[in-house]
Structure 1
Amino acid sequence: MHSDTNPHLLDKRKTRQGFERAAHTYDANAVLQREIGERLLERLDFIKMQPETVLDLGCGTGAISEHLLKRYKKARIIGVDLAVNMVQKTRQRGGWFRKPQGVCADANHLPFQSQCADMLLSNLMLQWCNDLPAVFGEWVQVLKPNGLLMFATFGPDTLKELRASWGRVDGFTHASQFVDMHDVGDALLQAGFRDPVVDMETITLTYTDVRGLLRDLKGIGANNATQGRNHGLTGKAHLQAFLQAYEYFRQENGLYPATYEVVYGHAWAPMLLPSKLPEKFIPIMRSKS
């Protein structure tokens, strides 16, 4: 997963560009993202916390941040995103008297002090990270002892129809390689989180034509940022071959499905902050009396 030759590794610059361009079209196309965000936030109903500082990681246009302002009326809410234009949208949320803060930063290198946040939320951002253990290792450093991480991301069956259809056309990569639910749990433990809970559900959207799916993906900024993508332009014949291949998945009612495997998870920060550097232990030998 970390080799430069892996065609599924994501180009961070390309990822950022996609979301910068989509900041003004995101809300009109992010129906699925809003629905998953609402389901994620419902899980907070079972968490008895009154946090002082909450980070919304991968905040997008700030829908989650705005909800957190209303839920935690005394907390400082900070939206974090790789795209400057998304951060600017987040800063406009809320009322005239209280708005979320916005920080443009990489999830792998958060510009915050250790143990500064009580809660981290992340809605559909982790699938844009190449190295989950490294990202979780960064996040656990930011959380206070017993702090909460709650997230939603995509699993391996996401966009399986799109990937299979392109697979019949060429040998390029056309979608991210989504991480299995069990590997997400392992990455949490590896980073030092405790008591991780991970579950999943499948959501299927349907379209009257496949181009509608492509428009939605473009509208939210979810462009193909894999290193193994076709770096040239997709010709009309190439696109037509893809659309024809997608016909295999057309349902009896004439609609075209797009499957999303949604992985939800939460975990708690340890009481003792894990060290970023490996520690050396020197055994103490007892002297014989």
Structure 2
Amino acid sequence: MTVMASSSRHSDIGRRFAQAAATYDGAAVLQRGIAESLLAQTQQRLPSPSSNERWIDVGCGTGYLTQRLARQRAPQAGPLCGIDIAHPMLLKARSSRSNAIQWLQADAARLPFSTGSVDRLYSSLALQWLDDLGLFLEEAYRCLRPGGWLSFSTLGDDTLRELRQLQQQVSGRPHPSSFMSVERLYETLHHCALQLSHHRRQSFCCHYADVIQLMRGLSQLGAQGPASSRRGLKGRTWLRQLTAASDNVREPQGIPARYDTHFVILHKPR
């Protein structure tokens, strides 16, 4: 599931996820599991929806979560919209031909909805690509009606820990995570106008036969691996060095790709 940052990274992230549209669904087994967990936690904690509620899936990607929301809702439910910055992702989503869903190309940093017009916002594994989560939370607060809800999953700083360890071993330089620490997440949530209703941190992991398969999997998802910017002979040498060091992190199932996942539910006071 993808979303967009309003910065110099804008075109790069959009391009990567656009290129991954054709391969995303085949590689996104773990991502679908995280979306299902978000749905389950939301169902347990949110009140039963009223009729004619407007729901939005932010960073919908190829539409897995959006379509699950469509099947979950009552027949008298209101409009449901999936938004994403990457047009090829939306083309894949539209291929489902669901008449119950509107697909819209838009930037999460500037939600194209009027103030107080949305009952529920959802987002799964998308908001980590934003430069400033706090700005999105301000937009979410603006768009939500009083009593509305925001439910999202995002990645924390322990994500791809083993891969970063390999990178550091090969390069001799530290490679900190580009994702948010739990301390920074709580600080951001504390300063937003929405009220925190629920937070759960959970680790998900998939395994690959070798480093090359792991890198290919990240590329198919549109995620940027440590070697993704290297090309030609230099890139092949880098991968060989990572492969040679990979036994240091290998588990019985293979090379781990760990996703440090935060599930958050926020409420707009009435």
Distance 1:103 1:191 in 2: 26
1:71 correspondence with 2:65: no
Going from structure 1 to structure 2, the CA distance change for 1:13 and 1:104 (only over 3 Å counts) comes to same
Cα separation, 1, equivalents of 2:223 and 2:208 = 17
Of the three residues 29, 32, 47, the one matched with 1:31 is 29
The change in CA–CA distance for 1:48 and 1:11 in structure 2 (over 3 A counts) is: same
C-alpha displacement at 1:160, in angstroms? 0.6
Q: What is the alpha-carbon distance in structure 2 between the residues aligned to residue 172 and residue 195 of structure 1? A: 37
Distance in 1, Cα, partners of 2:79 & 2:169:
49
Look up the match of 1:268.
267
Superposition TM-score, scaled by structure 1 size:
0.82
C-alpha distance in 2 between matches for 1:176 and 1:102: 32
Per the alignment, do residues 99 and 254 of structure 1 end up closer, same or farther by CA in structure 2, a change over 3 Å counting?
A: closer
Native 8 Å contact 2:86 2:105 kept in 1: yes
Preserved CA contact (<8 Å) 1:90 1:100: no
Q: How far is 1:239 from its partner?
A: 1.7
How do 1:113-124 residues align onto structure 2 when only pairs under 5 Å count?
113-124=114-125
TM-score, normalised relative to structure 2: 0.87
| 2:245 is the counterpart of 1:245 | yes
How far apart in 2 are the matches of 1:117 and 1:171?
A: 49
SS at the partner of 1:239? helix
Task: State the distance in 2 between where 1:92 and 1:125 align.
Answer: 21
**Letter aligned with residue 239 of structure 2:** L
Q: Identify the match of residue 91 of structure 1 among 91, 94, 98.
A: 94
Q: Which moved more, 1:159-168 or 1:253-262?
A: 253-262
C-alpha contact 2:157 2:177 (8 A) present in aligned 1: no
Matched residues in 1 for 2:71 and 2:144: separation? 22
Q: Which amino acid aligns with 1:241?
A: Q
Amino acid at match of 1:82: I
Shift of 1:178: 1.1
| Mapped contact 1:69–1:75 kept (Cα < 8 A) | no
CA-based RMSD of the aligned residues comes to: 2.5
Residues 164-198 of structure 1: CA deviation (Å, up to 9, x unaligned):
11122337897861112342233123120113421
Q: Number of matched residues? A: 258
Correspondence list, 1:139-218, <5 A: 139-170=140-171, 177-218=178-219
Change in CA separation of 1:122 and 1:247 when aligned onto 2, cut-off 3 Å: same
Cα distance, 1:94–1:171 mapped onto 2, change above 3 Å: farther
Stretches of 4+ aligned residues off by more than 6 angstroms: 171-175
More helix by share: 2
The separation in 1 between residues aligned to 2:231 and 2:108, in whole angstroms, is: 29
8 Å contact 1:10–1:129 — kept in the other structure?
A: no
Q: Retained in 2: the 8 A contact 1:161–1:246?
A: no
* Structure 1 unaligned blocks of 5 or more: 1-8, 272-289
| CA distance, structure 2, for counterparts of residue 45 and residue 265 of structure 1 | 13
Could you tell me whether the CA contact under 8 Å between 2:117 and 2:145 is conserved in 1?
A: yes
| Paired-residue identity, % | 32
Rg larger in 1 or in 2?
Answer: 1
